[in-house]
Amino acid sequence: MGVSWRDVLGSKPEKAPPETPKSPESPAAPNIGDIGISGAGVSGLVSLPSEPDTPRGAWLVSHPGGGVALHSFTPPATLAEVRAWYPGAEAEPAPEPHPPAELAPEEAALVAHWLDVIGETCPATRAEVLARADGVALQRIAAALSPPA
């Protein structure tokens, strides 16, 4: 089979990605990457208690013009730093993703079968694949196990 467990899980590349350019709105902000968010809420996320002095890697920022964006910071930034970079904006800690759901028994069996087919015997690797497999991984596994058309 030509599909490795790294292909199925979509592992991160060995080489580090290029540094995110600084936002033109905030030239003093270090390594800020912005992801626009539309709508009133973000599903699948857990709210965090607001502790302004705690540096965080991501803040949800409501800009004065009405736009809302998820801003990520490397190194993590405090609320005071975020407010200094975005004057007039409101900021709150970005919600964190929910942990992935456990696989259903038939999904876990499919993953285990595929690991057997590709000859993966390392217990740690098998456990990692089972823990990280999601819907996309399951689709890739099913495709890899299907006979060619």
The whole-number pLDDT of residue 27 equals: 40
CA distances (Å), origin 106, targets 20, 24, 129, 134, 141:
41, 49, 15, 13, 13
pLDDT tens string 43-73 = 344 444 455 688 988 899 999 988 899 888 8
| Closest alpha carbon to 131 in 98, 103, 97, 96 | 103
Beta partners for residue 72, in sequence order: 33, 58
Q: Which of 45, 82, 77 is nearest to 61 (CA)?
A: 82
**For residue 94, what pLDDT is reported?**
86
The H or E element that residue 140 is part of is: helix 135-145
Q: What is the mean pLDDT of the chain?
A: 73
pLDDT tens, N- to C-terminus, the chain (149 residues): 566 767 666 654 444 444 444 444 444 443 333 333 333 333 344 444 455 688 988 899 999 988 899 888 889 999 999 999 999 999 998 887 666 678 899 999 999 999 999 999 999 999 888 888 888 888 889 888 888 76
Asked whether the beta carbons of 67 and 36 are under 8 A apart, the reply is yes
pLDDT value of position 132: 84
In the block, tokens 């058309």 appear at: 149
